[in-house]
Amino acid sequence: METLGDATGASAGHPGDAGQETLVVWDDEMLGYDFGPHHPLHPVRLALTMDLAARAGVLAAPGIATVAASLAPDQLIELVHDPVYVAAVRHAGVPGGGNPRLAAMFALGTADNPVFERMHEAAAAVTGGTLAAANAVWSGSHRHAVALAGGLHHAMRAGASGFCVYNDPAVAIAWLLSAGARRVAYVDIDVHHGDGVQAAFYDDPRVLTISLHQSGRTLFPGTGFPREVGTGDAEGTAVNVALPPGTDDAGWLRAFSGVVPVLLRQFRPDVLVTQHGCDTHRLDPLADLRLTVDGQRASYLALHELAHEVAGGRWIACGGGGYALETVVPRAWTHLLAIAAHAPVPVDRALPTEWRESAPGRVDAATRRDPTPPEAAVAAMPAAFGDGRGPVTYHPWDAGEGDPDDPLDQAVAATRREVLPLHGLDPYRDR
C-alpha cells in the first residue's frame, strides 16, 4: 500500500530547484471566456481560485511569479485549427451578431458552445496563456508554469466541442514541437476523455497522450477506449484508461500507477504537459467519479514528481473542467498552484474565513441562481483545504492483471494489454 498527500503538506525537494521560478499565467481578461450566467463552465470558478490562492499566500511563495499573456495570434492557433474555423469563430463573436448558419457549421451556437461577443478574443486569450506557459518552460526561464484558464481539450480542428472553442493544450504542444521539442507527453486527468488533444496528434509519434477518464460508455464525449492507440508510426502513443463510474481516490490512484509512470519513463519526454480538470470530484454535478480534493491533490503531487523524474522538471499544467464552482474548483487548483510552487498547502489547513463566507454569494450573483440564506450557504461550504481524508492510501499496480472481478482492474488491465507491448513492455510484469 502507498500513501500520497500527507496532512502536513511536506513535499520532497528536487536537486536544482533553488532559484527556479514557477510561472502562473493569469489576467482578469481570461474571465471573458464566458458562455453566460447559467452555463456550467462559469469563469467565477477562476476568480474564486485566484482569490483563494492569494489569501492562502500561495501567489506570494518564494520563486513564484504571476504574469499576463497576449492573445494567441491566428498563425499559432492555426497550428491545430483550420483557418476557416478560426475565421468563423471571429465572425460569430462580432458584436451585434454573426451568421447563425455559419456558426452552426462549426458547432457554435449550441447549448454546450453558445456564441458570445468577442468569442475569438476570449478564446485567443486563454490560448495565449497556455502558449506563454509553454514558452516559459521551453525557454528555460521557468521550471514549471501553470495556466488555469486553459485545458480546453475537446475542441477539434474545425469545430467547437464540450465548452471548448480553441484547443489550447494542443496548440501549445504543436508550438513546442515547432520550437524543437522532440517528444512531448500529455497527461489528461479530467473526468472527460481528452479527445481533441488525442485527435490532433493521433498520427504523430512525437506526442504521447494519456487520458484517464470516466468511460465513454457512460459520459461525454463517448470516446477514449483502450483500443484507441494511435495510427501508423504513432501506434501506441494514444493511451486511454476508461474508468468505471464510482471510481474513488484509491481506485483512481491505482489506475494511474498502473499506466502513467511506466509509459512516461519509457517515453522520456522533453516536457510534460498536464490537464487538471477537477470534475472527477464526488460533488461535481456533471459526472460520476468519487474522488476527493485530497485524492486530486495526490495526483498533482504524483505528476509533479514525474515531471522532475522524466522531463527534467519541465512541467506545463493547465486547468480544465470542474463545475462545483465554489466547493471544489478553488481548493483543488489552489493545491495545484501550491505544488507547482514547491510549497504544498496542508489538507487540514482551515479555509480563510472571509473567503469561505463570501464565496457562495459571489457564485449566486455571477450565476443568477436563487440565493441561499447566508448561514446555510456557509454551513454547506467545506471548512478546510481538504475533504478530511488526510493521507490517501491505495494499492499500486504491481504485475499481472489485478483482480479479474474488479471493474477498475479490468479497465487498467485492458489498457496495459493494448499499449505496453507497443512500447516493448510486458503488461504482465512491468509496473
Report how far residue 311's alpha carbon sits from residue 306's, in angstroms, rounded to the nearest whole number: 8
Q: What is the pTM of this model?
A: 0.95
pLDDT of residue 6: 44
Higher pLDDT, 126 or 1: 126
Mean pLDDT of 151-179: 98
pLDDT of residue 431: 54
- Residue 164 DSSP one-character state: B
Q: What is the mean pLDDT of the chain?
A: 94
Burial of 183: CB neighbours in 10 Å, binned 0-12, 13-18, 19+: middle
Taking CA atoms, 356 is separated from 59, 417, 426, in Å, by: 18, 46, 49
pLDDT of residue 99: 87
Using the predicted structure, report yes or no on whether residue 129 has a pLDDT greater than 60. Answer: yes
pLDDT of residue 9: 38
Is 154 assigned a catalytic role? yes
Mean pLDDT of 127-145: 97
> pLDDT per residue over 227-280, tens digit each?
999 999 999 999 999 999 999 999 999 999 999 999 999 999 999 999 999 999
Distance between first and last Cα of the chain: 14
Nearest to 22 by CA among 145, 136, 132, 129: 145
Mind listing the domains of the chain with CATH numbers? Answer: 2-397 (3.40.800.20)
Long-range contacts of 214-219 (CB under 8 A, 24+ apart): 214/242, 214/243, 214/244, 214/245, 214/247, 214/280, 214/287, 214/288, 214/289, 215/242, 215/243, 215/244, 215/245, 215/411, 216/242, 217/242, 218/245, 218/288, 219/191, 219/192, 219/245, 219/287, 219/288
Q: Which of 154, 192, 304, 308 is catalytic?
A: 154
Nearest to 289 by CA among 192, 210, 414, 195: 192
Mean pLDDT of 329-349: 97
Q: Reduced to 3 states, what is the DSSP secondary structure of residue 99? A: coil
pLDDT band at 8 (very low <50, low <70, confident <90, very high): very low
pLDDT of residue 18: 37
> pLDDT per residue over 379-389, tens digit each?
999 999 999 97
Most confident of 91-105, 195-209, 362-376: 195-209
Beta carbons of 240 and 225 less than 8 angstroms apart: yes
As given in the structure block, the three cell numbers for residue 215 are 468511460
Mean pLDDT of 319-325: 98
Nearest to 107 by CA among 165, 151, 40, 150: 165
Using the predicted structure, report yes or no on whether residue 181 has a pLDDT greater than 70. Answer: yes
